[in-house]
Amino acid sequence: MFMRRSPSSALRALAVAALLAAGGAAQADDYSDVAKLVRAGKTADAIAKADQYLASNQRDPQMRFLKGTAQVAAGQTEEAIATFTLLTEEYPELPEPYNNLAVIYAGQNRLDQARNALEMAVRNNPNYAVAHENLGDIYTRLAQQSYTRSLQLSGNNAPLKLKLSTLGGVLQPAAK
């Protein structure tokens, strides 16, 4: 089971919204530069460029979001959690930071926190397909944990084994 991060189209939509609010081609270049650095694996450079931009635009949610994605890519998980959490506190209406927090939490097997974050994401944007998919993945993993525990407690339960086996197939990554 792989949880999906926000698609690049969602990232672009946030960038467009930020540009419309702030109105500047220079900002578009900064966003694009940071995103390109992340895609190229130059996460330290991306974080440095984001920090440089944020020094004079501290509350820019798009650049802070990009910085969080760069921190995740750099393996700076705790820093990314702090970045996305602050975004959810200051911009609770944005679903993407909640989704990205959930992806991190799921990777740490913190499934209840991931579920809570995804429920906030879909509450804020009921049409956010990626968050709905990720929430389904979390529910599936939670069900697997419950079935496994039940099987440990009940012993030889054929219907339960079948449920667990079926979930195991769902949670395996699809063959390419």
Average pLDDT of the segment spanning 46-66: 96
The pLDDT value recorded for residue 26 is 56
Average pLDDT of the segment spanning 141-169: 90
CATH of domain 8-171: 1.25.40.10
Res. 15: pLDDT tops 80: no
DSSP string, 93-109: T-HHHHHHHHHHHHHTT
d(CA 129, CA 46): 28
Higher-confidence position of 71 and 7: 71
pTM for the structure as a whole: 0.80
Domain ranges of the chain: 8-171
Res. 172: pLDDT tops 50: yes
Look at the chain and count its residues. 176
Higher-confidence position of 154 and 104: 104
H or E, element range at 127:
none
Q: What percent of the chain has pLDDT over 70?
A: 82
Mean of the per-residue pLDDT values for the chain?
A: 86
Task: Fill in the DSSP letter of residue 172.
Answer: S
The pLDDT value recorded for residue 25 is 54
Helices (H) and strands (E) in the chain, counts: 9, 0
Average pLDDT of the segment spanning 118-126: 96
Instruction: Provide the pLDDT confidence category of residue 17 given band limits of 50, 70 and 90.
Output: very low
